[in-house]
Amino acid sequence: MPVTRSAGSMLATAVCAALLLTGCTDASSVEPASPAPKATDGSTVGQSGPGPHKPVARLIPGLGPHFRSRIPGGTRQALVVSGGTADTNVAEAVLYESDTARSWRPVAGPWPAHNGMRGWTDDHHAGDLRTPIGVFGLGDAGGLSPDPGTRLPYDQDEEFVALGTGFLGEPLEGSFDYVVAIDYNRVPGTSPLDKERPLGPEKGSGLWIHVDHEGPTQGCVSLSRERMRELLRLLDPDKQPVVVMGPAQELRK
């Protein structure tokens, strides 16, 4: 006898056929993938769906595009020294490091600092009592005291002597116990005591980061004795360290 199908069997067959044609999924029920969120600087925070997330590139706080662009591509350490205004001689210093993705993080500081008696300048000259604004290498160190454990070349020499008193009448003795040469108008790779001035003597010279004497400087940057020892131990020539320095408003450009 011929086999007849019930109405229920025929309905089930029709439903299965429909499911096969649509891939067992109603396309209209799938939510579209959300776009990856963006950080405030336009970098992607993460990707939707499975898979690794793209990390945010963390920028150095307080630095605008002009100063960020002046940091050399191979640099992975930056000491940022930020002053209040163009005419102030009290500042703050923070050491930042970056990973291979150029994402920066603070590793030391903020530390109190002093700069030139009359503040900052983008056109430094000898005797102006101002600290030059800019991005400069930090590759050579030295001092009257023994090497505290730095990886930078260190020149211990009796010529690192500061005599007399500062602008506030404070004694200068011990100011050069530890110094790091700022690569402004000097030959990198030499002792901080080296006298060669590529830009000429009229453009100022002998600019260092040195031990603070609790007063403004003639143009150098100064940190407390313990902070100088810490900085010397942290600076790594393989990371091509630089100092980025100037008044806060200028650094934001």
Structural tokens at position 139: 């590759």
Torsion sign across C-alpha atoms 164, 194, 244, 133 = positive
24 an active-site residue? no
Q: One of 114, 124, 213, 220 is an active-site residue; which one?
A: 220
Encode burial over 96-127: b for 16+ CB neighbours within 10 A, e otherwise: bbbeeeeebeeebbebebbbbbbbbbeebeee
Q: One of 114, 124, 210, 213 is an active-site residue; which one?
A: 210
Which residues pair with residue 38 across a beta bridge?
Answer: 44
92-62-178 Cα angle (round to 5)? 30
Give the pairing type, strands 141-143 and 179-181.
antiparallel
Q: What is the dihedral of CA 84, 217, 212, 91, to 10 degrees?
A: 10
169-174-176 Cα angle (round to 5)? 110
On whether the CB atoms of residues 82 and 89 are closer than 8 A, the answer is no
220 an active-site residue? yes
User: Which residues participate in catalysis according to the annotation?
Assistant: 210, 220
